[in-house]
Structure formats: C-alpha cells, structure tokens
Amino acid sequence: VPTSRFGNSHPMLYQLVALGVVAYLPGAIIFRSPVADRWRRATLAAEERCFWGVFISLSLTSIIALGLAVAEQYSFERLLAANIILSLVFVLLARGRLRLPPEAPRPNLTVLAPLTLIALGAWLYFPSSEYIIGGKDPGVYMNEGIQIAQRGALVTRDPQIASLPPNSRDLFIPRHDDDTYYGLRFMGYFVTEPASGKVVGQFPHLYPAWVSIGYGLNGLTGARQVIGIWAILGLLALYFVGARAVGTLPAFTGSVLLAVHVAQVWFSRYPNSELVLQATLLAALLAFARAHSDGDRFFGPLAATLLGLSLFVRLPAILAWAAVSLACLAGAAEGRRPRIGFIGPAILWLGLATWYFVAVLTPYAAQPIGFVQNLQTVHILLLGLGAAAVVLLLVAIRSETARAQIRRWLPGVVSGAVIIAAAYAYFLRTPGGRLAPHDAFALRTYAAYYLSPYGLVAALLGFALLVRQSFWRNSALILSLVTFSFFFFYKIRIVPEHFWMTRRFLPIILPM
C-alpha cells in the first residue's frame, strides 16, 4: 500500500497507482477470474471488457467506502488497503488463471469510439466549477464528501449541539415541525439527535463517498473533478448499452450528441448526483440485458449490485427497479425466468437500502414517504389496475397461445402508449385544478429548450423503431425510459427553473 510518505515524495506516481487500485485493478481481476462461464464474457469486444473492469472496480470501491464510513472507520489509506487485499484474495482464489481464452477478440478500430468519447469529455468537462460551499445542493454534496474524508463517517457528532441545555436548544436550533429531524445545523444538514449532537447531510452518500475518494487522490481539486469523470463514464455507459441495442455507429453518434448537449456539459462541471445516477443506471441496465437476455450469469449479481448502489445515489432510482421488475415479468412471456444470481443480491440490496433510509438518512426519506401517503383516489385506482394487469398477465402466460399474443402485441402497445401520451402532453394538456402550469407544459418545455420539436418527433420515431426491432432483447432499457418519462413529464416534482428542472432529465430521458 502506498504510504503517505511515499505519496509526499512521489505525488504523481502515488495518484496514478491509487487511481488504478480504486478504479480498475480489482474489477479486472474479477472479470478475468475463471468463474461463471468466463468464455461467454471473453467474447465481448476488448473495449467493453475494459469498461466492465472499471465498473466492477467502481462498484467494489463504493461498497467498501460506504461500509467503512457507516462504521465510522473510513480513510483513503484503508480503502486502498482493502482494495489491494481483496485483489490479492481474488488472484489466489483464481490460482493465477487470469488469462482470457485465445478466442477473446483483440482490440480493433471500434476501440477508437470510446477513446474519442473520453477525449471529448476531457476537453468539455474540465476544469470543474469552483463549488466548495454555497449553491445549496452543490455545497452540501461537496461538504458531505469532504466530511467523510476528514472525519471518516457518514454522520457527524457535533459536540456543540450536544452541549446545549435541553431547555435552551430552541434559541440556537429552532425546532422544526417534523418527526424525522429536530432542526437544521446548517442549510442541508439535519440535527436528528440533539442530545448526542448527531447531524446528517441532506443527500444519499454514494456521490459524496466519491467526492471523498477524489479528495484523497488530489485534495479539493480532485473532489471537484469527480463529477466530470462520472460524466465521461455516463457517455461510455450510453455507448456500450447503445452498441448492444442498435450497433456501434448509431451508439457512437448518440453518445457524441449527448456529450455536446448543453445540459450534459453544464452539469458535468457542477456538483450533482444525477450524472452519477446516469452512469450507474445505464451500466446496470446493460448488465441486466447481458444476464437476462444473453444468458450470461456472471452479470446477474453485477446488475443487482449496480441497481442497489443507484439507490444510494438518488431515490428516483427506484423507478429503474420498477422497470426492471416489469422487464422480468415481460420476459416470462418468452419463457425466461429471472436468474437467482440477480434475485438474491437484489433482495439483499433492497434490504440494505431500506435500513439506510430508515436508520441513517431518515429526513431524506420523509418526502417520498409523504408522497405515498398523499396519493389521491385516482392514483390508488391506477395502481390497483396495474396490479390487476400484472395478475392477469401472470395467469395468461400459462397458455402458449396467450404468450404468443403477448409477444406479438406488447411492443406495439408500449410504443403506441408513449406516442399517444406524448401527443396529448404536447398538444392538449393544459393547466387547471391541481395541475400546475409547469407540470402541464413539462414536455413542451423539454422539447423547446433541450430537443426542439423536430428532435422530439425524431426521438419518438427512433423509440418506435427500437421497440419494434429489439423490445425483447432490451426490455429493461426501454421500460426504464418509459417509466422515467411518464413519472417526470406527469409532474416535474421540483421548482420550475431550468437550473433545477433540467436535472430530472439527465439520468435516463436525455441520454435515450
């Protein structure tokens, strides 16, 4: 393990070695290990094999960093040590047999596509903005991460808060009428237990954990640069998921268009969690397709892990879980059952996320809980109809005739529903009653500012072609786009300012 003394005397070499340890080494070893039909994943293109080495490492590093921080034992040196030890363990378990079989494709001209995307992102997304404090969300994200780096924990124990006499607390920390926290220590920091001085940040901790890793690599500059790196990873994830769905040339074209889009460029320099969610979800959906449609069991646990980690980025990731569940249900019509290698880890991750939001980040979970509690009769009726449709589908797929009809008509129903909903939202939807103007005009605003009306038409045509040609191979990807679109174009669920509203489109809607 590189020591701090070594790092002080050879800072550049230390940063490169540490970056390799946290972002590539353990994932490359796991990917090359002779388990779970290695020959299947060995047939992937060389650039995608490298991509998976990176994302497996990022997943493992995220788990270790969050685990250490929950135990209040995080430090960058401990993270490096854990990654190196685990890498050695994987090498020993593989008995050194890490060489891929001879039929593994060698790099060819297609490797230029991801390299071009990396170069384009490096040119557009840096230098990062100078957010250390302020800006509401950016300042909170940065300080949550630097807090983890300096104090080694997700939760702060503030002795000043704990020292306040109970009968005088409201003079210093006005009590909020909320069951989930007592008051605010600073903007974005909740006092949850005033007697012990327990203070927790506003947002989920996966992105702050990577801010702390960037801080360990390169100080405040590294902490700021983390979001640009995740933005580049989002471009790569879109390219590889698109290459599998529609081919390398259309995927590269779409990734370049995303790379130069004003929203992607803006937020790639600005601390936010949406671009982390973008990369994580797209990689998760690709892993799910490899496992569920291509039959590669190695990717089942990885898909569940990436989906699980996405919940620690932003809670709207639960929409992707819903889409993946629908994809599993649709796959039953083709006789494909979800793999236990996906289902088991998925249940574990849902349990961990539930504990995290109940025990650690209770104030953040209050809003979605309130959303569920405030559902209107029409919403409950729609949920009931959806549940009834699921039951009917499960009954129907027992019949071969019914399965054949579902395989024939379901793609058309999905694309038709999206096109009809888009036409209604663009031409007919108007504010009134409980429908606010910014919600009624959400699709029109998105098309006018970020896509153009002609771009919206082209996107709908492309969506219809994708559904028609490859719905059954890419059902989770397609249903994720549908789920996110219906959810956020129905109601934006944030103040109607582009500075905030644009972020709703970044993870799935804009890339697709």
pLDDT in tens, 253-312: 999 999 999 999 999 999 999 999 999 999 999 999 999 999 899 999 999 999 999 999
Q: Is the pLDDT of residue 398 over 90?
A: no
Q: How far apart are CA 303 and CA 229, in angstroms?
A: 21
Looking at residue 44, the DSSP 8-state letter turns out to be: S
Query: What kind and span of H or E run contains 125?
Result: none
Do you find a cis peptide bond into 271, omega within 30 degrees of 0?
no
Which residues are CB-contacts of 194 (< 8 A; sequence separation ≥ 6)?
Answer: 161, 162, 164, 166, 169, 173, 182, 183
Q: What is the pLDDT of residues 299-350, one digit of tens each?
A: 999 999 999 999 999 999 999 999 999 998 888 777 787 788 999 999 999 9
pLDDT at 366: 79
Greater confidence, 445 or 115? 115
pLDDT at 173: 81
Q: What is the pLDDT of residues 118-162, one digit of tens each?
A: 999 999 999 998 877 766 788 899 999 999 999 999 998 888 888
Select from 430, 437, 482, 438 the least CA-distant residue to 459. Answer: 482
Q: How far apart are CA 209 and CA 225, in angstroms?
A: 13
Q: Is the pLDDT of residue 2 over 80?
A: no
Place of tokens 């259309």: 250
Q: What is the pLDDT of residues 473-507, one digit of tens each?
A: 999 999 999 999 999 988 887 777 777 788 888 89
For residue 433, the one-letter residue type is G
Q: What is the mean pLDDT of the chain?
A: 89
pLDDT at 8: 63
Per residue, the 3-state secondary structure of 282-300, as one string, reads HHHHHHHHHHHCCCCCCHH
pLDDT at 184: 76
Looking at residue 432, the DSSP 8-state letter turns out to be: B
Average pLDDT over residues 410-434: 91
- Note whether 339 and 292 are within 8 A (CB): yes
Confidence grade of residue 5 (pLDDT, cut at 50, 70, 90): low
The DSSP annotation for 464-509 comes to HHHHHHHTTTSHHHHHHHHHHHHHHHH---S-S-HHHHGGGGTTTT
Percentage above 90 pLDDT, the chain: 58
Per residue, the 3-state secondary structure of 68-113, as one string, reads HHHCCCCCHHHHHHHHHHHHHHHHHHCCCCCCCCCCCCCCCHHHHH
Query: What kind and span of H or E run contains 200?
Result: strand 198-201
pLDDT at 51: 97
Greater confidence, 11 or 508? 508
Average pLDDT over residues 80-108: 92
Q: How far apart are CA 12 and CA 176, in angstroms?
A: 48
Confidence grade of residue 458 (pLDDT, cut at 50, 70, 90): very high
Q: What is the pLDDT of residues 40-74, one digit of tens each?
A: 999 999 999 999 999 999 999 999 999 999 999 99
Greater confidence, 364 or 462? 462
Query: What kind and span of H or E run contains 186?
Result: strand 183-186
Place of tokens 């599998």: 244
Q: Is the pLDDT of residue 368 over 90?
A: no
Q: Is the pLDDT of residue 83 over 80?
A: yes
Confidence grade of residue 423 (pLDDT, cut at 50, 70, 90): very high
Q: How far apart are CA 322 and CA 91, in angstroms?
A: 36
Q: Is the pLDDT of residue 381 over 60?
A: yes
Q: Is the pLDDT of residue 180 over 80?
A: no
pLDDT at 1: 38
